[in-house]
Structure 1
Amino acid sequence: MIIYNKIWLANLSVQQQLRPALDSGELSKDEFKNIEAAYPVGFYSPNIFVRVGLFILTNIIAVVFGCLLTYMLLDSDLIKSPVWYFFLGLFCYIVLEFVVRRENHFRSGADDALTWISAGLILAGFLILLANRFPLYDSNSITKLYWTAGIVFLLSSYYTIRFTDSLMAIMSFLSLVFFAAVLWYNSSAFGAATLPFLVILLSGIIYYFSLTKTKQPALIYYQHCISLVQITSLVTLYLSGNYYVVQKLGTELYGYTTIGPYKVPYPVFFWPWTILVPFIYTGAGVYRKNVILLRTGLILIAIAAVTFKSYYHVLPIEGTLVLIGIVTLGGSYWLIRYLKMPKHGFTYEELAAETIPGGINVESLIIASTQLEDTPKGTQSPFGGGDFGGGGSSSDF
């Protein structure tokens, strides 16, 4: 299903895994060039500045082309129907397939822009079609929400599988959670009361499966997508139990009561969750040597402190932010000094991985790279022509 050349994707993974060794001096430039020759990549992947430029240029071309076609058919009823949006979206998708398959674009900016333009136009076509065909969709806001979330989930999942797009992977996860949350909220009064717990459960399940299935060979080309889904699921897992978020969501759903804003029903659960979960993330990251858990936990600690500050005014906001900054910088400096030498499997120094996804050993690859240079086509035998003793050996033997 994936559109990209899988051999090139595997070779690109090899080169990316070996770049830290090149930067640290463990691998010479000549050795790295030999590895690039042995593991070639034919993708067009420019630097970030060219990528941004191509992204903007592609959007401009698409807008001008779409406006020109729409102006040519301005008097026709076709542009008022969803068929017109489907046509434009499918046209952009065909161009995207051509750019990726024939021109070998890979995260070049042009393919990024065409991905989002085609998906957006196809989504607009579906939404207009639903509004025209089903009056209930246009009149019922709940129905509109879960239909929209379902279509977004299907589209973003397809683009994720087809083009390994990381942002589409995040969109697929968020739309799935939103779809389930809307259905659960609309099911009954019990569903509305337990909505945060549903999001917590769903986020935890998705994180668990993304963590346990990440090493499967079939998912080797989606490592970056899986990493971003893990980060997003950890954030939604925490925020769905954050006291401030739960109260704001309840106020939006139920409005203000006679006694003030929405009252969180289970503070004995949500306050410990708000304060303790970021520290659990951080501790689990250290224990399991998981960088995603560690960094996410450290960021959420600051969010937990701001949440606590919103309800309990122990210090002025300026003093709170300064205190958080001092603690964070002091802790980071201490960890950097402490982990200069590896301790308990952790170190501040970035080390090259021993293996590359797919089972390739980095050290063996580096050693093999030294044997990739051209060897002389002819090698003179150390044995002579029998000039001494008649035994077939020269005097040089």
Structure 2
Amino acid sequence: MIVHDKTLLQNKYLREEAKALQDAGFISEEHYSNIKKDLADFKSNQNWFLRVAFLLLGSFLYSSICGFIALSILQVTGEHFEVLFFVFALIGLAGTEFFARQNYFGHGLDDAFIIGFQICLAATIGIYTSGNEFLIAIVVTTSAAFCYLRYLHRSMLLLACVAATASIFYGILNLGTEIAIILPFVSMVFALLLFLLWNKKLQHTSTFYKFDLNLIRYYSYLLFYLSGNYLVVRELSVVLLQQAINHGQDIPFAWFFYIFTFIIPVGYIYQALQQKNKIILWLGFAALAFSIYSIRFYYALLPLELALTFGGLFLFGVTLVLIKKLQNQTTGITFKPDRFSNSTPFQAAEIIVSTQVGGTQSNQQTTDSPVEFGGGGYSGGGASGEF
């Protein structure tokens, strides 16, 4: 199923592991350079600026090919342009296959064609079904899953998850307003099924797919929280279900969504601390901040200025207490830097603070004795012969 060369795929993941070890200080830069020389790699761009630049270049190439084909087809079919988007989708798929067989992986040119394929395919289904959202979502889910399984394009895995969620949403909405009221609970169940699929089957696979499947886990976490967030449920009830919520009224099961909005972020943070998973930890903090915003969106107990001030003081106090408590721990939950994470911002901050402290001390010494360097008056290399 995978079109890419298996040896190059294995080399790619070995190089990534070696890079992580080099960043953590377990192997030297010279050792990492030797590993890179010994392992052949795909034609790819690790620099995101270059990748975006080649994505734009690939988009121009893709549109140029489509434009030429369109002019040729319109001369034959006249004004029947409905078939054009299907042809454009085939061009995108053919271009993706070509670049994959030429060992392009995450280069930018291949990104343009695989994304163009999905857009043109969705447009084709929309034209022939008069904009049926449910059918569009079903087709995009299938095509995105196929593209991920064949080309290992991580964005296609995310697109498949989002499109599958949209399929469930539109499928429930098509059943009528009476059934659509259970949409948040159906979405929660779908998120749980995604997590169970990852936990029971996907994370234990020994194929090349296992390197990207954590995306399904984190997507299920995010979807589960948003499915029960009070603000999301209430606003979607107004927009999708056309429910008029007057002053003094509330949505059905409002008490459940109030509790859910705050319990789930706390649960995420607790689980992240237990498993030492920083992604879930940041997700939990982001969800907690959005929960506070969700309630404040409807019930503003304090003016915005006071709320931000008290919130900042509270966070500062909690952070200070945690730093004091964890700074000397070397195991478990600790404030020590993670050798496998990019600590460049912390290193930069440390350098800035050290420079400021050192600069202040240097200025004070210069003020007291501006020319006392050594026996000769210029850095110690003078008549006394001492340094």
Structure 1-normalised TM-score? 0.77
Which secondary structure state, in structure 1, belongs to the residue aligned with residue 119 of structure 2?
A: helix
CA contact (8 A) 2:228 2:260 kept: yes
- Is 1:309 the counterpart of 2:308? The answer is no
CA contact (8 A) 2:188 2:227 kept: yes
Counting only pairs closer than 5 Å after superposition, residues 196-275 of structure 1 correspond to structure 2 as: 196-224=184-212, 226-255=213-242, 257=244, 259=246, 263-275=250-262
1:58 aligned residue: 58
CA distance in 1, matches of 2:246, 2:32: 69
Given residue 217 of structure 2, which amino acid in structure 1 is its aligned partner?
Q
How far did 1:188 drift? Answer: 5.3
State the identity as a percent.
22
2:125 aligned residue: 126
How far did 1:56 drift? Answer: 0.6
How far did 1:342 drift? Answer: 2.8
Structure 1 residues 343 and 188, CA gap change in structure 2 (3 angstroms)? same
Given residue 204 of structure 1, which amino acid in structure 2 is its aligned partner?
L
How far did 1:258 drift? Answer: 7.9
CA distance in 2, matches of 1:259, 1:217: 51
1:31 aligned residue: 31
After alignment, is 295-304 or 183-192 more displaced?
A: 183-192
How far did 1:149 drift? Answer: 1.1
How far did 1:212 drift? Answer: 3.9
CA contact (8 A) 1:200 1:237 kept: yes
Which secondary structure state, in structure 2, belongs to the residue aligned with residue 240 of structure 1?
A: helix
2:155 aligned residue: 167
CA distance in 2, matches of 1:5, 1:328: 50
CA distance in 2, matches of 1:258, 1:202: 27
How far did 1:69 drift? Answer: 3.1
How far did 1:194 drift? Answer: 1.1
How far did 1:231 drift? Answer: 2.2
CA distance in 2, matches of 1:40, 1:165: 20
2:83 aligned residue: 83
**Deviations 1:186-215 (Å, cap 9, x if unpaired)?**
335552221110101111220232244343
CA contact (8 A) 1:8 1:43 kept: no
CA contact (8 A) 2:173 2:179 kept: yes
Given residue 248 of structure 1, which amino acid in structure 2 is its aligned partner?
E
CA distance in 2, matches of 1:238, 1:95: 38
1:357 aligned residue: none
Which secondary structure state, in structure 2, belongs to the residue aligned with residue 313 of structure 1?
A: coil
Aligned mate of 1:343, from 294, 313, 331:
331
Structure 1 residues 84 and 311, CA gap change in structure 2 (3 angstroms)? closer
CA contact (8 A) 1:281 1:294 kept: yes
2:282 aligned residue: 295
Structure 1 residues 258 and 330, CA gap change in structure 2 (3 angstroms)? closer
Where relative contact order (Cα < 8 A, 6+ residues apart) is larger, the structure is 1
1:184 aligned residue: 172
CA contact (8 A) 1:73 1:79 kept: no
CA distance in 1, matches of 2:159, 2:339: 32
After alignment, is 270-279 or 91-100 more displaced?
A: 91-100
Counting only pairs closer than 5 Å after superposition, residues 132-147 of structure 1 correspond to structure 2 as: 144-147=132-135
Structure 1 residues 88 and 235, CA gap change in structure 2 (3 angstroms)? same
1:113 aligned residue: 112
- Is 1:278 the counterpart of 2:265? The answer is yes
How far did 1:286 drift? Answer: 0.7
Given residue 293 of structure 1, which amino acid in structure 2 is its aligned partner?
I
CA distance in 1, matches of 2:21, 2:329: 19
How far did 1:319 drift? Answer: 3.2
Structure 1 residues 177 and 317, CA gap change in structure 2 (3 angstroms)? same
**Deviations 1:293-348 (Å, cap 9, x if unpaired)?**
21110111110111121122122223334444454465456556625643326564
The unaligned stretches of length 5 or more in structure 2 are: 342-387
CA contact (8 A) 2:140 2:160 kept: yes
How far did 1:114 drift? Answer: 0.7
Which secondary structure state, in structure 2, belongs to the residue aligned with residue 187 of structure 1?
A: coil
Structure 1 residues 168 and 106, CA gap change in structure 2 (3 angstroms)? same
2:345 aligned residue: none
Given residue 250 of structure 2, which amino acid in structure 1 is its aligned partner?
K
Which secondary structure state, in structure 1, belongs to the residue aligned with residue 203 of structure 2?
A: coil
RMSD over aligned Cα, in angstroms?
2.7
CA contact (8 A) 2:104 2:110 kept: yes
How far did 1:77 drift? Answer: 2.8
CA distance in 2, matches of 1:222, 1:112: 21
CA distance in 1, matches of 2:322, 2:76: 67
Instruction: After the TM superposition, list the runs of 4 or more consecutive aligned residues in structure 1 that deviate by more than 6 angstroms.
Output: none
CA distance in 1, matches of 2:59, 2:279: 33
CA contact (8 A) 2:180 2:241 kept: no
How far did 1:352 drift? Answer: 4.6
2:346 aligned residue: none
1:48 aligned residue: 48
Which secondary structure state, in structure 1, belongs to the residue aligned with residue 228 of structure 2?
A: coil
CA contact (8 A) 1:248 1:262 kept: no
Structure 1 residues 30 and 256, CA gap change in structure 2 (3 angstroms)? closer
Structure 1 residues 97 and 273, CA gap change in structure 2 (3 angstroms)? same
Structure 1 residues 14 and 339, CA gap change in structure 2 (3 angstroms)? farther
1:193 aligned residue: 181
